[in-house]
Amino acid sequence: MRDHFIKRLTELAERNPRIMLITGDLGFGVFDEYRKRLPRQFLNAGVAEQNMTGIATGLALEGWTVFTYSIANFSTLRCLEQIRNDACYHEANVKVVSVGGGFSYGALGISHHATEDLAILRALPDITVVCPGDDWEAAEATEAIVETPGTCYLRLDKSSAGFTQQPGEKFQLGRARRLREGSDMTLVATGGILGVAMDAADELVKRGVSCRVLSMHTIKPLDIDALVSAARETGGIVTVEEHTVVGGLGSAVAENLLELGEIPRVFRRIGLRQGFSSIVGSQSYLRTRYGMDVGAIVDTVMDACSRRTTVVGGM
């Protein structure tokens, strides 16, 4: 995803001299072509992410569209006060980019596991939160947030579902993408773990269970219409995220459906439930250890199908 992000950003910045990229002292090999072409639109703020966000806000208030870039927890949680008070409060065109969402930097431990960022940032007023699931979405989301006024968060993952664009399809923030059809259950996934959800849906077909798969690449604003349709038209909803289940995608889905009175016949959340992710290892290893791999999704769906009941006012 990272490579597709920087490729699209380079193209956009060449057309728009008011786009600036600020890095927190990383990504130099990735940014070589960008820096070569656009040296006046690039700045290394050093290992000073809070200062990076303050600089970005100042430039944004002077008419720039500014991308800040660092490892997920560093560009977000370390800079939370600056994102909230400086960027969001002033509706500044600051686009916070994190590389390594979820367990992408699994071997580096909890300091590099980004498992609370979506919950915390979506709570901020006046921010758009985007978590693409494949390479096409990552590139399209980069362009979309340039065109979106105000502060945005773009969470990039080391893993990816590849390219899932369908013929003639156009990307739209706030609109989920339906990648698989099915009526027994709906899998709603965000981020690179979308690929795992799609593999799980393929495995479930072999077991006689058809799953609709939604790529919920935008967490805020959330596609309520797609969720209402899933609640009404399929046998239940299972959310899948490489993130804590507290306050993330699953929480957002449940909050919105319950408030509307749209109750799925069954609802489950797949994500981190065991406090801090204190184990280290590869991204795929940690997904398995924390119950987010294909087998875990299949087991959750099969169990949900066996337990679902008709809810009055639901289906």
Domain boundaries, the chain: 2-156, 177-307
pTM of the model: 0.95
Q: What is the pLDDT along the chain (315 residues), one digit of tens a residue?
A: 999 999 999 999 999 999 999 999 988 889 999 999 999 999 999 999 999 999 999 999 999 999 999 999 999 999 999 999 999 999 999 999 999 999 999 999 999 999 999 999 999 999 999 999 999 999 999 999 999 999 999 999 999 999 999 999 999 999 999 999 999 999 999 999 999 999 999 999 999 999 999 999 999 999 999 999 999 999 999 999 999 999 999 999 999 999 999 999 999 999 999 889 999 999 999 999 999 999 999 999 999 999 865 443 333
Q: Which of 11, 14, 33, 49 is catalytic?
A: 49
Same fold, 2-156 and 177-307: yes
What is the maximum span of the chain, computed from C-alpha positions, in angstroms? 62
CATH 3.30.70.420 holds for 177-307 = no
Would residue 49 show up in a list of annotated catalytic residues for this protein?
yes
Architecture, CATH, for domain 2-156? 3-Layer(aba) Sandwich (3.40)
